[in-house]
Amino acid sequence: MQSHVAQFSKFLSFVLRHKPDAIGLKLDPQGWTSIDELIAKSDAAGTRFSREDLLHVVETSDKKRFSISADGQRIRAAQGHSVSVELGLSPRQPPSILYHGTATRFVDLILVEGLKPQSRQQVHLSADEATAHRVAQRHGKPAILKVEALRMHAQGFKFFLADNGVWLTAQVPPEFLKST
C-alpha cells in the first residue's frame, strides 16, 4: 500500500502538473500558485492538509518534485508538467552523455522516431544510469538509452536543468540515441 505521504505527493503532482482545474486552481505562466489558495481549494475539494503537512512533503519528496518560492508564499512542480508552463530555466551545457529510462517494448519505436515528450512538455533525461533505471521501472521491463547530449548541444539543441536535477529537452532525434 502507498504511504500517506506518497498519496499526498501524487495529489500535488496531479494538480500542480496536470489538472489544476480539477480543484479550481490557477497556475501563473511559470507554474506557480499561492500556497494558501492551494490549501483552501484542496480543502473545498475534499483533501485537507496544513501548511506544515505541505512543507513536510516538499522537503521529503524523494525526487524534490516541488519548489517553494523565495518568499515562502508560492509552490510549483519542478518539472513534469502536461499543462503549458514556462519554467524560466536558462539553457545549459549538458554533460557528454545523459540517460533515458524507458520500457523494452518502446525501444524499437524510439530508435526510429527518436524520443518525444508524449503528454509532457519536454523529454526527461537523467544524469546517471541508476536514476534512469528507476524512471524505467515505472513503465515495465527497464531499458536504458544513452543520449549524446553534448553533441546535440553543439548542434544547437537546447537543454535545461530543472530545480530537482532532471534534464529537459524538447526531443531527441534517433541519431543521438544508443541502446545500452
Question: Could you list the residues that contact ligand HQG (CB under 6 A)?
Answer: 13, 63, 65, 80, 102-103, 106, 109-110, 113, 115-116, 118-120, 124, 135, 139, 166
Minimum Å gap between C-beta 67 and ligand HQG is: 13
Pick 30 or 137: Cβ nearer ligand HQG? 137
Chain centroid offset of residue 132 CA = 13
Minimum Å gap between C-beta 44 and ligand HQG is: 25
**Distance in angstroms (rounded) separating the CA atoms of residues 54 and 61:** 11
Pick 48 or 138: Cβ nearer ligand HQG? 138
- The one-letter code for the residue type at 8 is F
For 60-69, the CB contacts below 8 A with 24+ separation are: 60/5, 61/9, 63/164, 63/166, 64/163, 64/164, 64/165, 65/9, 65/12, 65/13, 65/164, 66/12, 66/16, 67/163, 67/164, 68/35, 69/32
User: Which residue is at the shortest CB distance from ligand HQG?
Assistant: 102
Minimum Å gap between C-beta 119 and ligand HQG is: 6
10 Å Cβ neighbour count for 125? 25
Q: Is 103 exposed, middle or buried (0-12, 13-18, 19+ CB in 10 A)?
A: middle
Pick 13 or 47: Cβ nearer ligand HQG? 13
Pick 23 or 168: Cβ nearer ligand HQG? 168
Pick 4 or 134: Cβ nearer ligand HQG? 134
Minimum Å gap between C-beta 102 and ligand HQG is: 3
Minimum Å gap between C-beta 169 and ligand HQG is: 11
Chain centroid offset of residue 178 CA = 23
